[in-house]
Chain A
Amino acid sequence: MNWSIIKLIIEREFFTRVRKKSFVVMTLLAPFLIAALMIFSVWLSVRDNQTQKIIVVDDNYPSFSILKNQPGIQFEVMDITLIQAQTLLHESDFTAVLYLPKNIVASNVGKLFVKSMPSALTQRKIEKQVEGIIEHQKLLINKIDPAVYAKIDTEFNLSPYKIGKPGDEKKVNSDQAYIGFVFGIFIYVFIIMYCSQVMRGVIEEKVNRIVEVIVSSVKPFELMLGKILGIALVGLTQFVLWGLLTLVVFMAAKGLFFQDYYNPETIQQLQMSGDIAKQFQDESLTSVNIYDPNNIINRINFPVMLSLFLFYFIGGYLFYSALFAAVGSIIDNEADTQQFMVPLTLPLLLAYIISASVIKNPDGAMAVWFSIIPFTSPVVMMVRAAVGVGGGGGIPIWQVGLSMLALVIGFIVTTYIAAKIYRTGILMYGKKASFKEVIKWIGYKN
């Protein structure tokens, strides 16, 4: 293999792509989109854009007259029928009708008629208040002292610990797998994105017929490898730029839009309210506190996750890119890609689907196997690794090691097979090759 030649090819692949307008636009725009999405979701969870003015129709009037106004929620308890209330809602600036039927203490069900959906947080606040009042009534009916009840009301929590040697125990945090799933999705998307670029590059060279000139001075394998590595570099460059830009944009936007939530006083208040909430076993009412060491985000080992992400992205990309290159070499136009691409994207799709169930059971047999098989490991292993690697609580290190080894061996094998298909495919024009013929190409001498 001639590395100076491969270096030339890598350079060409890299620079012609990086200077394309679409690359620049995508690289600059994506962080804004991601940041906007993040900010939007944070914004949605922390504030309703409008104060909810709610007509309360209480069939047990005036049992619920004690509903208290809260920031963003105003209750108006009225002694009218539901129909009347709905008409009123229609004609006034009220935003919702809360209907509390006669049998509410038995059924525990009420109805909320809205003009537009309030946030989940607002709904939860309403539920909490109504719940409190119903509970209070039940206590009265059953002649239980509320003070006594407060003492005996219990919420039991089970914390799973994984134990290595006796005493060496670690808390299992399977909820972290959700974060791993996000990493997995990124890997899934990026593998398909950059592998498609490899395929399109191969098709372009074939359609252009320049491939014939190139392979008269370069071995087909060198050309394929150069292309794959060049595009990998494009991907890594894009990651680094995205990472930096997203951080900058997010920080800037955070400062602009959420100043309140990040100044020390507010943080203190939030933490206090968090403490109070905890006393009442009412965690769900507080918004996610990013300063809490028990917060899911803070429990993730980011250096390990990012290293694994890099490895599995590169490994997964290399594993699949050679196969995509082979597919590109078989066809002469992009319209025919589907037929050959399906068998390639299927395992990736499978990995994605499996990941969804791996979240619930990161230690299950399915999770273990699919995180080792190279076809699915780049996505599935990310989900599992988020729980932690090594130690009592994490997944065993040997499984990660085996998975990495399998991926490296896998990529050598796919590249070897793909190269054989590629070198024959790039010179075939006209008729569309069948699977059978392609298999035959693997055996061709040259």
Chain B
Amino acid sequence: MILAVTPLAAAAVLLVTAGLIRATLDPARARRRATQGATLTAALTILVAVVSGFLTGRGHGVLLDGGTEGALTLTLLPAGLLSTTNAAIGIAGLLACALAPLASHPPRTLRRMLLVLAVAHVFVATTEPWILAALWTLSAALAWRELRATADHRATARVFGLHHAVSTACLVLGAALVATGHGGWAIPLLLAAIAIREAIVPVHGWFPTFVERAPLGMVVAFAAPQLGVYAHLELFTAGLPIATAHGVAVFGAVTAVLAGALGTVQTDARRALAWLMMSQSGLVAFGLENSEPAGQIGALVTWQVLAVATSGFAMTLAALEARRGTLSLHGPGGSFARTPRMAVAFLILGFASVGLPGTLGFIAEDLLVQGSVEEYPLQAFALIIATALNGITVMRCFFALFSGSRNHVGEPDLVGRERVALTLAIAALVFTGLWPQALLALHETGAAVLSTGSH
């Protein structure tokens, strides 16, 4: 069994913070503590990733080699392509806590968010199917409990519960089959479980309503780490049969384009966000089925870009919602001049998630397109269309929310904690976007392994 220590430490920090919040009734105090815990986690994961990966080139760093198969092996970080995943989850967690509005994020919600984030950190720390299945279940149960706890969200909880009960059952059964050496039989079950979790068309029904109704901090904590991607990597180590892989790629491409198109016609900002996130999930699902290393790595970099950029985009939306109320896209209804930093962060993070030059999103887009075109020329074209549609959604949201009106309802610009969290997210995206090779070098080994494993 392989265990990565840094994610475990990150999870421990989050669990302790969740424990501290348990006794806190004051929402502002709870958010302050949650933000402190998330900051510590983000700092730890970023520091270890930078020092171990970028500066010393040690990669994941084996601390204790078990030697034989099945013996416990301790590493500093998850191997190769996953060594920066925890940092991405750490930043997403910080964004979720620091920009969480008090009205929609009482201490109970913050505690559950921290628990979901802790589960996500541990999830990428291990490769054991049975642990993955247990954490998968726990994560879904925590989000479901959050929805159940609010009377307004009961119906959403039903839809969520229905989908995730099926997803969990499929994953548990699939993981059991994998653990007992019946990997072939497990494939359809695992694919169904992952497709539901990643909101791939046509089993996406829970996702738009979840994003519309749930506190956005919980949406980010649950959806941004994209546990389905990691489950895909770890549970299909032998790779998918070619026909199946092509089928999955088609579903991913259809999701990317359809969700991208639907995002452009929404009149509610949260629902537009939901389709945007789904479209990007589709891109990742599509890219993972590439046999070209560049395509695979494009999908994985997209995964990490989404964890940071889309989380920032979503939480900026949450912060704006807290200031203005329900955000409609019926027409231009805001003023850029009142909240310039918030508008700029919204624009940069939104476009970073769809390939803004100078950010990691551009690198991800390029790798995904160039890596896919050899194997899936038509789907690669669909992917380009999906990216264009997502860009239209982002710009439409920006213009609708930050322009077209002189009205000022007294909304303040970003406050200190919000600015720090957003600055970190933007800096991470720009730094890795301008100097991407260090990040890609970390991933190289992992992608090679993935490549030889698949097909």
Instruction: Note whether A and B form a binding pair.
Output: no
B residues adjacent to A (C-beta < 8 A) = none
